[in-house]
């Protein structure tokens, strides 16, 4: 049985549904999403697509969530609490992508979506099967309010080489032709001391620049940025402003990372609490 979203809930601006995998190390995935959305003022709900067995050194296993369980998580949250934005992360395989796409069409068709096309973990371990790339491109990219690929992901999805800002721009243009309403091609994997993130929309192009921070504590940066942006969008910010605020949150989280683990450590999602002390 579906329950109508209450009129009270419909007027609350801050609700974000995160559809992503769980990271046992706590630095990425659903765990990063919960921290980032909460720290940036949003209310987060979750639909867990997989259990990943990982720490800062790598991913040691992936256990997919049964499709019906994924669908029910999405249905139950959206038909009761509702959402102002939906953020997707690791989807893993063809069946999961198909399940999520259909569930969002059935229960959240009019909710803006921030799609983070998670393909490879920071450790280098693959998180999206090779045969699922076309399905992701076909089912998740069209209609996305914002697509947030890093350079390697943008290259795979667009078929364009992404080795410079010009490559980022060309890839963004191609992904908008595929159907995304806006694309943020992140520049962290592009060589250079200055990182440039390129945001393209139907109306304009915006470049966000930041000095590269030399650190190995970058686990979950993509999840964190997409979640922070989704949180700010849910609160009514314009897209470019939400991206700018999300980047500010992430950069401070990287700068103040605690240095946990023996590999790629997590960022400091809780830095706003430290500022308040």
pLDDT digits (tens, 9 = 90+) for 129-146: 778 899 999 999 999 999
Cβ proximity of 152 and 189 under 8 Å: yes
Kindly tell me if the per-residue pLDDT of 17 is higher than 70.
yes
**Is 138 domain-assigned?**
yes
**Is 190 domain-assigned?**
yes
Amino acid 8: pLDDT: 55
Looking at the annotation, which residues are catalytic?
186, 218, 220-223
Amino acid 12: pLDDT: 61
Amino acid 128: pLDDT: 81
Model pLDDT for residues 206-253, shown as the tens digit of each residue: 999 999 999 999 999 999 999 999 999 999 999 999 999 999 999 999
Q: What percent of the chain has pLDDT over 90?
A: 88
* Number of domains making up the chain: 1
Cβ proximity of 127 and 92 under 8 Å: yes
Q: Decide: pTM greater than 0.85.
A: yes
**Is 79 domain-assigned?**
yes
Amino acid 127: pLDDT: 75
Cβ proximity of 115 and 83 under 8 Å: no
Model pLDDT for residues 43-71, shown as the tens digit of each residue: 999 999 999 999 999 999 999 999 999 99
Query: What tokens were used for 203?
Result: 């109306």
CATH number at residue 186: 3.40.1190.20
Amino acid 11: pLDDT: 56
**Is 1 domain-assigned?**
no
Burial class (CB in 10 A: 0-12, 13-18, 19+), 39: buried
Mean pLDDT value across residues 101-125:
90
**Is 4 domain-assigned?**
no
| More confident position, 124 or 150 | 150
Measured between alpha carbons, how far is 72 from 153 in angstroms, rounded to an integer?
A: 29
Cβ proximity of 185 and 151 under 8 Å: yes
Residues of the domain holding 233: 12-272
Task: State whether residue 265 is helix, strand or coil.
Answer: coil
**Is 5 domain-assigned?**
no
**Is 277 domain-assigned?**
no
Q: What percent of the chain has pLDDT over 70?
A: 93
**Is 168 domain-assigned?**
yes
């Amino acid at each position: 049985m579906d329950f109508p979203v209450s009129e009270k809930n419909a007027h609350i601006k801050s609700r974000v549904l995160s559809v992503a995998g769980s990271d046992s190390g706590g630095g990425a995935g659903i765990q990063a999403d919960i921290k980032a959305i909460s720290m940036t003022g949003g209310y987060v709900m979750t639909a867990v697509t997989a259990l990943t067995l990982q720490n800062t050194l790598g991913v040691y296993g992936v256990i997919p969530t049964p499709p019906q369980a994924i669908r029910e998580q999405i249905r139950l949250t959206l038909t009761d609490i509702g959402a102002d934005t939906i953020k997707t992360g690791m989807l893993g395989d063809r069946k999961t992508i198909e399940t999520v796409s259909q569930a969002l069409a059935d229960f959240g068709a009019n909710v803006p979506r921030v799609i983070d096309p998670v393909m490879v973990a920071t450790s280098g371990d693959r998180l999206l099967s090779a045969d699922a790339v076309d399905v992701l491109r076909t089912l998740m990219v069209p209609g996305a309010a914002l697509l947030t690929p890093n350079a390697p992901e943008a290259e795979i999805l667009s078929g364009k080489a992404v080795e410079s800002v010009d490559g980022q721009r060309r890839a963004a243009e191609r992904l908008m032709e595929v159907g995304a309403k806006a694309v943020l091609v992140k520049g962290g994997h592009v060589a250079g001391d200055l990182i440039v993130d390129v945001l393209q929309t139907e109306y304009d192009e915006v470049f966000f620049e930041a000095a590269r921070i030399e650190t190995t504590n970058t686990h979950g940066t993509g999840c964190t940025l997409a979640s922070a942006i989704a949180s700010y969008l849910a609160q009514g910010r314009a897209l470019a402003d939400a991206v700018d605020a999300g980047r500010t949150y992430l950069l401070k989280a990287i700068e103040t990372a605690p240095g946990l683990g023996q590999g790629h450590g997590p960022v400091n999602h809780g830095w706003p609490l430290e500022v308040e002390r």
